[in-house]
Amino acid sequence: MESDPQTQALRVRRMSWEADDVLSIVLGSDDRADLPPFSCGAHIDLILRPDLIRQYSLCSDPAKKTEWTIAVLLERESRGGSTYVHSVLRPGMLVSATGPRNNFPLVDAEQYLFIAGGIGITPILPMVAEVERQSKNWALLYGGRRRASMAFLDELSQYGSKVVVTPQDECGLLDLKAAIDPLPTHAAVYCCGPEPLIAAVEATCSELGRAEPHVERFKARAQPIGCDRDEHNEPFELVLSKSGKRVTIPADKTIIEVLEDAGIYVPTSCEEGFCGTCETEVVSGTPDHRDEYLTDAERANNKSMMICVGRSKTPVLELRI
């Protein structure tokens, strides 16, 4: 998992409509210097306000070094990020961004099947550009509710029959089994989109005896791992290593909630354990990982945790805060 903590001020250079309710935003530095490099599948943390941090996939070509492009869907039940982008953000404004980071990297494979649903096309765009550059065998299955709601169709048209566009109101649901079943065992399957699509792709790969697909979620699962607030949660004591302060985390509150109540600010965004914004170093104790961000290996080494959902397996947990 790539990680880069640097933060930079960026100017909004251009904004364009890519589909109904989807705006693309081109960001760059004022001196037009190269931005930090990124690889296919990477995202940035866009700091819209100090209390409003959101993650957006970079959908531009990594070879274009002086600009980053993101695309933002206006969510009907927005928690503030997409509403701010659509109603407040304008060309010429300054924003800050942290990253890029990548927990959805493009692995080396002889063949690829990309499956995108709706705004899930954004991290897939640089991937198809890269595998096309490498003359790899690939195909993209792209679904959406309506053709008018599907972003970047003009850009994707250059790839001809390699891209299968499937608006639900015209063609129905994606036929995942028909797309996945003929693939050779060495093919890599990638999926990004709404949770029902990702769950269906995972289930189809499992049913067909294939390796797990590479997926990226923009929202937590329907029943997020860290959301149970029942009697199975135990209270524990949290030690803040920088100040030595100790606070009690009760069974019905998260670490983030207790810290906020105590006036201690830690950057956070999704509060559901999938974005990585609140990743915090573990000094001592054993964390109870309940996120969907860390890899199995990263969970096993217990060097960091997501404090929006994670808890403690030991009576005392010390964090680098």
Give residue 1's pLDDT band: very low, low, confident or very high (50, 70, 90).
Answer: very low
Q: Are residues 269 and 189 in the same domain?
A: no
Look at residue 302 in the predicted model and tell me its pLDDT. 97
In tens, the pLDDT along 288-318 reads: 999 988 888 899 999 999 999 999 999 999 9
What is the DSSP secondary structure assignment for residue 195, as one 8-state letter? H
Question: Six-digit token pair at 90?
Answer: 């304008």
Q: What is the mean pLDDT of residues 138-146?
A: 98
Burial class (CB in 10 A: 0-12, 13-18, 19+), 27: buried
Average pLDDT, stretch 30-49?
95
Last residue of a domain, one of 58, 83, 101: 101
Count of structural domains, the chain: 3
- Among 46, 66, 101, give the residue marking a domain's end: 101
Domain boundary among 157, 185, 216: 216
The verdict on 212 and 247 lying in the same domain is no
Q: How many CB atoms within 10 Å of residue 181?
A: 12
Per residue in 206-238, pLDDT (tens digit) is 999 999 999 998 776 655 444 444 558 999 999
Q: Is residue 228 part of a domain?
A: no
Q: What is residue 114's predicted lDDT score, i.e. its pLDDT? A: 99
Asked if residue 231 is part of any domain, the answer here is no
pLDDT digits (tens, 9 = 90+) for 240-269: 999 999 999 999 999 999 999 999 988 888
Which residue range is the domain that position 177 belongs to? 111-216
In a domain, 63, yes or no: yes
Segment 60-70, tens digit of pLDDT: 999 999 999 99
Q: What average pLDDT does the segment 187-203 reach?
A: 97
CATH of the domain at 76: 2.40.30.10
Residues 120 and 206 in one domain: yes
Residue 269: its pLDDT value, please?
84
Within-domain flag for 36: yes
- CATH number of the domain bearing residue 296: 3.10.20.30
Q: 306 lies in a domain?
A: yes
Mean pLDDT over all residues of the chain? 93
Q: Which residue has the tokens 């995942």?
A: 176
Instruction: Report yes or no on 153 lying in a domain.
Output: yes
Q: How far is CA 225 from CA 43, 199, 216, 278, in A?
A: 22, 15, 16, 16
166, 171, 173, 178 alpha-carbon torsion, rounded to 10°: -80
Token pair 């680098």 in the structure block, residue: 320
Question: Does residue 230 sit within a domain?
Answer: no
Q: Which pLDDT score is estimated for 4? A: 45
Whether 104 shows a pLDDT value over 50: the answer reads: yes
Is the pTM above the cut of 0.85? no
Q: Within this chain, do residues 96 and 130 fall inside the same structural domain, yes or no? A: no
